[in-house]
Structure 1
Amino acid sequence: MSLAKMAASACAFALAATGVTVALAPAGSAATNSVYAVAPYVDMSNGQEGLLDTAVTGHGLKAYTAAFVLGEGCTQIWGDTLPIGNDPYTDPEIARARSEGASVIVSSGGASGEPLAWTCATQSSIDAGYQAIIDDYGVTQLDFDVEGAAIADTAAAARQMQAMKDLKGANPNLRFSMTLPVLTSGLTADGVNILKAAKNAGLRIDVVNLMTMDYYAGTGTEMGQAAVSAARATLAQMQSVDPGYTYADLGITPMIGKNDDGSTFTLADARTVESFAAQNGVGRLSFWSANRDQPCGGTANSLPTCSEISQNSLAFTDAFVPYQGGSGGGGTTTDFSLALSPASASVVRGGSATATVTTAVTSGSAESVALSASGAPSGVSVSFSPASVTSGGGSTLTAAVGSSVAAGSYPITVTGTAASGSHSATYTLTVTTGGGGGGGGGSLTNAGFETGSLSPWTCTGGSSVVSAPVHSGSHALQVTPSSSGTGECDQTVTLSPNTAYTLTGWVQGPYAYIGVSGGATASTWSNGTSWNQLTVSFTTGSSGTVTVFVHGWYGQSAVDADDFTLT
């Protein structure tokens, strides 16, 4: 289909193949924000525009997110390598969907590229590039998907927020979203720094859009509840940066069907997420992607083009389209959230540990919240200073451990109680007898890799035992990811059933993950260039069997791991 760009002030597009002429609305005349309550991503380089047409004309889809515009130096292209505003494939697709009644958000970045602020260091060129998207497509909504190593680029984030501040001044109706990777425990530290960059620029992100997908926490992850947990934790992080954030400033974007890590987001999970959104007034529901919202044909891996699960065509679209931005009352009643930082600690008998309890208003107005703790073992006292806060305030938790407390890990439930109800979080306290040292293993074998071989660890990719760099001793593990794999190393162990444990390990390198899967699911990661210790708390299931893992990230350089302990 060819595109003719007409010489008209409204920037009209003519679709010669269909005879339809569509005038793209100038910035400032787009539909109200409620139209964008549901806006799934569409891969504009996928060649499946017919599915988008059907979603709009036959399934009531009112908005979608066109992906992805990529920065190349100080210029921009669509993912099919053709320039924005002059792409004979993507531009007609956008124009046709608009002629059918759909509003569009244009997204820059993604897993395979970066937005312009990450590829260009000239602020005026960045501003002009983003303004060109607004002018060429008549949009008032821009999305910026920042993944991989790019999320740690604080200079680019600062340029991005300055551009948004500049553009909002020139385009009063402009709204923007930042789409960021997330764990069930919330944003990474780099993700929180994106929020801080906006704060430093004097603005708030209109929608903090969470990629609730690919947690690499085991194939048994319940993806609907995982998305809810991520949303709750992220809102608390957002409000720690700016108390004015609410669920209306948050978006949830799962990957429908089979995820890259083997987990599955089902239609039941979609209903869980939609219900949570309606109850809390979530700002946007999306998913990756409308192209995948159909069953597969054949047996080939078809992740880009179908869900790889049994479903009716556009079933996920049908599940999300009824959402109207929390019209069921989200945000009209009073409620609060509660979070702990850190959520775990290791204490020698006779010592103590502290944590910060943070609360935030999630809807309605502030209220008094009384704090309490339960589940502490005999000999451990837990106190709060102050013992009662107004939601939005914080308190210090102190856990004092007596000299006779048995060594072990103890989950302590911290509860905030208010007139609107109660919310709880778990604080895992590990009591030790003192001493210790690197290279220990607990129930792990070859935990410091001092045998000089991998066994009994099993690894994918090019992972190996190396003599340098090491954290201690003579050997360490080096995990080498590829473009299609994380280079994971695993060891399956049988522990006591229904018992709390703590896994620790020393790592260095980009996106170094440790955790457990199988009978328990928990993980954490770091992005340090020097050795740093990671800690993961978990509780075994009825079998006691878990798989301990360590891995890097797709397309990143090698990570090193050493001196695991399991207590």
Structure 2
Amino acid sequence: MRIPVIGAAVAMLGAAVALVVTAPAQAATTLPAHVFAPYFEAYNGDSLNGLSQQSGVKHLTLAFIQTATRGSCTVYFNGDTSMPIASSTFGADIAAIRARGGDVIPSFGGYAADNGGTEIADSCTDVNQIAAQFQKVITTYDVTRIDLDIEDNSLTNTAGIDRRNKAIKLTQDWAAANGRTVQFVYTLPTTTAGLADSGLAVLRNAVANNARVDIVNQMTFDYYDNQPHQMAQDTITASNGLHAQLGQLYPAKTAAQRWAMVGVTEMIGVDDFGPAETFTVADATTVLNWANQQGIASLSFWALQRDNGGCPGGAAADNCSGIQQSTWQFSHIFAPFTSGTTSPSPSGSKSPSRSPSTSPSASTSPSRSPSTSPSTSTPPGGGIVNGTFETGALSPWTCSLGSVVTTPVHGGTKALKAAASNSDTAQCSQTVGVSANRTYTLSAWVQGNYAFLGATTGAGDVSTWTPGGSTWTKLTVTVNTGSSTSIKVWLHGWYGTGTIYADDVTLA
């Protein structure tokens, strides 16, 4: 993320800093499995606790920690020597936030540090001293998660990349020896199709150094590709790409485990590129619902101080979004994402205990499972049974809120009705036998607002959707079976958006 450089020059240390070996009692609890934690601009004098109270945001990512000068091994907030890593800097604010059930995530790096050589691993050439700085932040503030914002020149500094990951491994070993929970997040730029190779190189080096990366947080903005953008959809395609890339890096992880490694950071309103990349309030609702459905780990935006409509029609700024909005509107939309009890189900779907807002997601992989297991049918070569619903019954479909009706229909005399409620998407599914290593085309005709069609294979989910309306629309999605010999086919509506109808479902 881009921030102004407000560092002050200090004398470089002449002696090596010893590794921190003490671990005082940990005050902070582990962060929720799914947490909304927007960035807080720690460099402009705003009250951390004050803005947390005003916005209602309980978890915040503190930007940024860096060295004061290139070559130093001592970090400060924003590289400002008047803001040392000490209880005197934000200590009282953090205690007040924790008293209200929240917490903070210190963030190292950022665009200014990465560009100026003051990111800790770029600046300091001693791995032990880098690890010591990580550990000092952890013990000073009793935090359980560290964010590493790596972009610009830091993405091509191979020596710094290697030092950073070696320091992560040292810190993780230290934490394990001292009974501490510590998570590391890599925040990286992305394309609309996933990480560029420079970002992947950071993760490949982490794997090579046995440094555990808990979350990969994509900056889904500032694409600078001179292409038209629909920012919510770009978030989804970027995340799908990242999910596939994580499969290559971590082949032992399941699809759900890889989604639990995914984080998303938006830049609310107008981003640095300009109005062509504008993240709207409607985009925020779409991303929230998709994030809930997919079970990703973290949701964030740049930055809390921008969450107001003080400069509509303007360019990117530190203190306003550049669009018309109410104050804290994005914060209030994203706040329900935080949950201390929810974790993704094996299929990657969200737990029913989550309370999504009522707008639909543009998800490419909704996989909410009905309460009853679907029956299995095995027509020769694969195919849908009762895809026209002409039997007058649902079987072998299993539906949470479904029935067969005689109007409206697309073909024949019957169709499926799925009446979504505020707490149920009215999913209908059936499991069918298929040939391994084959590509199928799944199609259905749908009518109504926000209809989804998809399939679950051993490799994960594929789906498509339409905002729909009062006319019949054909949805089609390609399904690659891989090693699977059976797949689950499903369709559903969306929370609180009413009834959808489906007919003539085929898999061929």
Query: Shorter-chain TM-score: which interval?
Result: 0.5 to 0.7
CA drift of 1:58 comes to 5.2
Aligned to 1:76: 75
SS in 2 for 1:294: coil
Aligned to 1:33: 31
SS in 2 for 1:69: strand
Aligned counterparts of 1:38 and 1:368: Cα–Cα separation in 2: 41
Aligned to 1:485: none
Aligned counterparts of 1:64 and 1:231: Cα–Cα separation in 2: 22
- Aligned mate of 1:331, from 345, 348, 371: 345
What amino acid does structure 1 have at the position aligned with 2:50? D
When normalised by structure 2's length, the TM-score is: 0.60
CA drift of 1:28 comes to 3.8
Q: 1:205 and 1:180, CA in 2 relative to 1: closer, same or farther beyond 3 A? A: same
Aligned counterparts of 2:323 and 2:64: Cα–Cα separation in 1: 25
Structure 1 residue 145 corresponds to structure 2 residue 149:
yes
What amino acid does structure 1 have at the position aligned with 2:159? A
How many residue pairs align between the two structures?
Answer: 338
Structure 1 residue 207 corresponds to structure 2 residue 211:
no
Aligned to 2:263: 251
Aligned to 1:130: 134
Aligned to 2:246: 238
Structure 1 residue 274 corresponds to structure 2 residue 277:
no
Q: Deviations over 1:425-481 (max 9, x none)?
A: xxxxxxxxxxxxxxxxxxxxxxxxxxxxxxxxxxxxxxxxxxxxxxxxxxxxxxxxx
Aligned to 2:409: none
Is contact 1:181-1:210 (8 Å) kept?
yes
Is contact 2:188-2:216 (8 Å) kept?
yes
Q: 1:327 and 1:148, CA in 2 relative to 1: closer, same or farther beyond 3 A? A: same
Structure 1 residue 264 corresponds to structure 2 residue 264:
no
What amino acid does structure 2 have at the position aligned with 1:136? T
Is contact 1:211-1:254 (8 Å) kept?
yes
Q: Which has the higher strand share?
A: 1
Is contact 1:280-1:329 (8 Å) kept?
no
Structure 1 residue 372 corresponds to structure 2 residue 439:
yes
SS in 2 for 1:97: helix
Structure 1 residue 419 corresponds to structure 2 residue 415:
no
Is contact 1:279-1:329 (8 Å) kept?
no
Is contact 1:151-1:191 (8 Å) kept?
yes
- 1:465-476 matches, within 5 Å, as none
- Aligned mate of 2:334, from 320, 323, 335: 320
Aligned counterparts of 2:239 and 2:340: Cα–Cα separation in 1: 15
Is contact 1:283-1:325 (8 Å) kept?
no
Aligned counterparts of 2:182 and 2:64: Cα–Cα separation in 1: 19
Aligned counterparts of 2:106 and 2:159: Cα–Cα separation in 1: 23
Aligned counterparts of 2:143 and 2:340: Cα–Cα separation in 1: 23
* Percent of paired sites with the same residue: 32
CA drift of 1:267 comes to 1.2
Aligned to 1:107: 107
Provide the aligned C-alpha RMSD in A. Answer: 3.4
Aligned counterparts of 1:215 and 1:298: Cα–Cα separation in 2: 22
Is contact 2:34-2:342 (8 Å) kept?
no
CA drift of 1:300 comes to 6.8
Q: 1:371 and 1:84, CA in 2 relative to 1: closer, same or farther beyond 3 A? A: farther
Aligned to 1:155: 159
Aligned counterparts of 1:61 and 1:265: Cα–Cα separation in 2: 19
CA drift of 1:274 comes to 1.0
Structure 1 residue 184 corresponds to structure 2 residue 180:
no
- 1:156-555 matches, within 5 Å, as 156-172=160-176, 173-218=181-226, 220-243=228-251, 244=253, 245-262=257-274, 263-296=277-310, 301=315, 303-324=317-338, 330-333=344-347, 370-372=437-439, 391=458, 415-417=479-481, 419-421=487-489
CA drift of 1:62 comes to 2.4
What amino acid does structure 2 have at the position aligned with 1:307? S
Is contact 1:277-1:326 (8 Å) kept?
no
Aligned to 2:356: none
Aligned counterparts of 2:34 and 2:50: Cα–Cα separation in 1: 17
Contiguous gaps of at least 5 residues in structure 2? 1-22, 350-363, 366-433, 442-456, 461-476, 491-508
Is contact 2:63-2:106 (8 Å) kept?
yes
Q: 1:159 and 1:46, CA in 2 relative to 1: closer, same or farther beyond 3 A? A: same
Q: 1:100 and 1:333, CA in 2 relative to 1: closer, same or farther beyond 3 A? A: closer
Between 1 and 2, higher relative CO (CA 8 Å, sep ≥ 6) is seen in 2
Q: Deviations over 1:275-318 (max 9, x none)?
A: 11111110001111111111115987561111111111111111
- Aligned mate of 2:59, from 52, 58, 63: 63
CA drift of 1:368 comes to 7.7
Q: 1:326 and 1:27, CA in 2 relative to 1: closer, same or farther beyond 3 A? A: closer
